Amino acid sequence: MELYDALFYRKTIKSYSDKMIKRPLLEEIKCLCDNITYLNNDLNIKAHLVERGHLVHFLLGKDSKVKAPHYIIITSNKGEDYLQNIGFAMERLILELTSLGVGTSWLKCELKKEDIKEFVQLDEIYDEYDEDVDIDESQIEYPISLIAIGYPDEYESLFRKSKRSYDRKKMKEVCKNFDPKWNEVMEGVRVAPSMSNKQPWEFKQREYGFDLYESLPHKYLKIENENKISMGIALCHFDVSCKANKLEVEYIKKDVKEKRKKEYFISIVDKSKE
């Protein structure tokens, strides 16, 4: 399965088989984890494959609704747009796993750095016992996100039965009045998953391409971090769709005026217009 097809047929797996992924495929997954890509190269985002899933499940406790044979822990320093970059990198990884026939689900990550140090290799740039060091929090690597991986149990299918079976916003709520050449790209974005299914993105077409905005959550809803990860997921779907449709784009920050109840994230430049 190609990545573009995976946009439409991938689904969240809620119940996993106890069957372990065989060694050759685990090695391929580890290679994918070692080669994740994201936009801000000043960040240090990593994907750590945890083969012994019981270690993670023990930390999650009895309240965890998902139990998988393996997990991927995403760690990062807290630099500029780190949550959006995590969403971008990990959604692509999930699509790659889908193409390999591996089931996935994003899980809320409440793990602490101390929880995972015994089985995840972190970059320790400071000696935690040296009280004289002025620690720069933006350089410390923290666990940010968590993905369960494995094969679905016998009662659950790996893929959606139809590419149209989605609970998503209508296209006009994603982007209004765009050039028809972007139809397939925008359809790939429209079906993008999001944390709590909020779909907080809004694309605005410009003469150079698009500006991408985040719809700000109500001040009483504590989903700001979730929304920012979701923004990266949407941009990943845009990127995969562009590559599939041979549309060359570039992602840059511009001096863009903020919109009411919207927060500017990034601009997409259509290279064919240059």
- Decide: 102 and 149 in contact? Cβ < 8 Å: yes
- List the single range of 6-20, 37-51, 130-144 with lowest mean pLDDT: 130-144
Q: How far apart are CA 204 and CA 221, in angstroms?
A: 25
* C-alpha span between 111 and 117 (Å, rounded): 11
Mean pLDDT along residues 44-60: 93
Distance between CA atoms of residues 135 and 194, nearest Å: 34
pLDDT digits (tens, 9 = 90+) for 169-191: 899 999 988 999 999 999 999 99
What's the whole-number average pLDDT of the chain? 89
pLDDT value at 222 more than 80: no
SS3 225: helix
**Sign of the CA dihedral running 122, 126, 127, 128:** negative
Structure tokens at 259: 């919109």
Band (pLDDT 50/70/90 cuts) for residue 40 is very high
pLDDT digits (tens, 9 = 90+) for 127-174: 454 455 555 666 788 999 999 999 999 988 999 887 666 788 899 999
CB 157 within 8 A of CB 25: no
- 30-60 in b/e form (b: 16+ CB < 10 A) is eebbeebebbeeebebbbbbbeebeebbebb
112-133: b (≥16 Cβ within 10 Å) or e: eeebbeeebeeeeeeeeeeeee
Given a contact cutoff of 8 angstroms between Cβ atoms, the answer to whether 248 and 272 are in contact is yes
Q: What is the pLDDT of residue 128?
A: 52
Highest mean pLDDT: which of 60-69, 132-141, 216-225, 260-269?
260-269
Residue whose pair of structure tokens reads 């998902």 in the numeric block: 66
pLDDT tens digits, one per residue of 67-112: 999 999 999 999 999 999 999 999 999 999 999 999 999 998 888 8
Q: What is the CA radius of gyration of the chain?
A: 19
Full set of structural domains in the chain with CATH: 3-128+135-150 (3.40.109.10), 171-273 (3.40.109.30)
Asked if the model's pLDDT at residue 258 lies above 80, the reply is: no
Q: What percent of the chain has pLDDT over 70?
A: 91
- Which residues partner with 270 through β-bridges? 249
